Structure 1
Amino acid sequence: MRQNRPFIATAVWSIPKTVANRFPETGSSLERYAAIFKGVEINSTFYRHHQKKTFARWANAVPSQFHFAVKIPREITHEARLRNIAPLFDTFVDEVSTLEGKLGPLLCQLPPSLSFDAGEAEAAFSTMRRFFTGTLVLEPRHKSWASQSACALLNDYAIDRVLADPAPVWPPSSFHGAPRYVRLHGVPKIYYSSYSNAEIRAFAERLDAESWCVFDNTASGAAIENALTMRDHMASWQYG
């Protein structure tokens, strides 16, 4: 069994009362969260800008091995719809740069109405790669992104597909190796439903040491409960 563990994370770092006893009693919510988990997904960047000093403060609050995945702003993905994004993306990358070595993947989630257009997608990905050489992951929600040409373009720009649940584009069977990024939104009620131990185990067994598994079923508090379950059992589960 590998000694390194995947990044088990949630899409928030607030801690519900139901599991508060699993975390240190003192410190900020982020400090308490980072004492147990080694990664988190920042979703607030999707809705608004943060100052560079805010990212720096977050980076300084967590251990050296902790990483932040960051969601790309909706002004890039939903408003500009990936067109002419250079100024916006440059600004975003500059803002998150103060996370320094604790910056993990950038998550690009597309709206359900945004279909695959080879020319526009290539221009956007080329722009992203001009400003950012780290891990980029894509979560589209229009079925046209399942095409071979879309997947080939992602491969050309070293952009990883997100294994999402529910899976509007790429079913789990389309991932032949360990996925780089998994986002579990909750089924049947998105953002609310909790996963069973068996479901958590099934996802855990797909991961390797480079994988991220983010629980996004945060509305009911299930995300951290599910993430703790995966973390607690990972040592005894075979994965890879």
Structure 2
Amino acid sequence: MRTGRVLVGTSGWRYPPWRGTFYPRGLVQRRELEYLSRRVTSIEINGSFYSLQRPESWLAWARQVPEGFVFAVKGPRFVTHLKQLRDVETPVANFLASGLLGLGPALGPVLWQLPPRMRFDAERTAAFLQLLPHSTGAAARLAARHDERLDGRALTETDADRPLRHAVEPRHESFRDPAFTALLHQHGVALVQSDSAGTWPWFDEVTTDLVYVRLHGQGELYAGGYTADVLDTWADRIRGWAAEGRDVVCYFDNDMKVHAPADAMALLDRLGSGRGCR
């Protein structure tokens, strides 16, 4: 059995409080991604959650990171929060056409974060999971069905047909229904393990060969730093999943007090896969 690949990083990279603390004074904003990507092994792109990005942005991000680096991509809140997964074929096509295929080999899993008010609906969830493409070739075909809003600014081709994986982060207790995890198993979609300082339910079932972890802060949502003991525990869990042949991605979202990059590098050091300061 192969050992799974482990990637650790932060959710996003553009945070004013990081400037002059994590980012050196005088580092220009356009070089922040380059700087962080030499210290972690993956980053979760979260700007895509708020608005459709342009192809030139995705292509620029891919050029700034080292070979072997991987981006996770957050699906748009228009799909998850406004439409709540209802009738979303065109919005998903628009998202896929916005340029993420331009990441090429740096494209990792797509995260679909659900709103806390959204309850589990089996029929709606099944229709959404059925829609998701599981290769970049399939994503390109769906992207080609974008609407007129993407005319003249769409990227609907892939440089190679690679696997494309997805993860869902529910935030309502009703998703503890076995029918939900059965659907994830059926469609090969990961269930996010989300530590939110007790704000939302923690779902810990592993549903596919990808384990997607989001660490939102110890004790204080988006702000609490992780202690050495807790990081040791996470390192042990991650080693265990990887030993089972599962790939693991782990993102720190405790950005408010600049803990995220330090915690990510500390976890990488424990796993023996840190980038150092290249």
Indicate the SS of the match to 2:112: strand
In the TM superposition, 1:73-112 aligns within 5 A as 73-95=76-98, 96-112=100-116
In the TM superposition, 1:1-240 aligns within 5 A as 6-14=6-14, 15-20=18-23, 28-95=31-98, 96-129=100-133, 131-132=138-139, 134-166=164-196, 168-172=200-204, 174-175=205-206, 180-207=211-238, 208=242, 210-235=247-272
CA distance in 2, matches of 1:141, 1:13: 24
Structure 1: 5+ residue stretches without partners: none
Number of residue equivalences: 231
By how many angstroms is 1:16 displaced?
Answer: 4.6
Greater RCO (CA < 8 Å, at least 6 residues apart): 2
Q: State whether residues 192 and 203 of structure 2, in contact with CA within 8 Å, keep that contact through their aligned partners in structure 1.
A: no
TM-score (norm 2): 0.76
CA distance in 1, matches of 2:183, 2:165: 15
- Residue of structure 1 in register with 2:158 after alignment: none
Give CA deviations for 1:129-185 in whole Å, capped at 9, x if unaligned: 37546110010001111111010001111110100002633444x459986110000
Residues 101 and 74 (structure 1), Cα distance of their counterparts in 2 relative to 1, 3 Å cut: same
Residues 71 and 177 (structure 1), Cα distance of their counterparts in 2 relative to 1, 3 Å cut: closer
By how many angstroms is 1:118 displaced?
Answer: 0.8
CA distance in 1, matches of 2:63, 2:76: 23
User: Which amino acid is the alignment partner of residue 123 of structure 1?
Assistant: A
Say what the alpha-carbon RMSD is for the aligned residues. Answer: 2.5
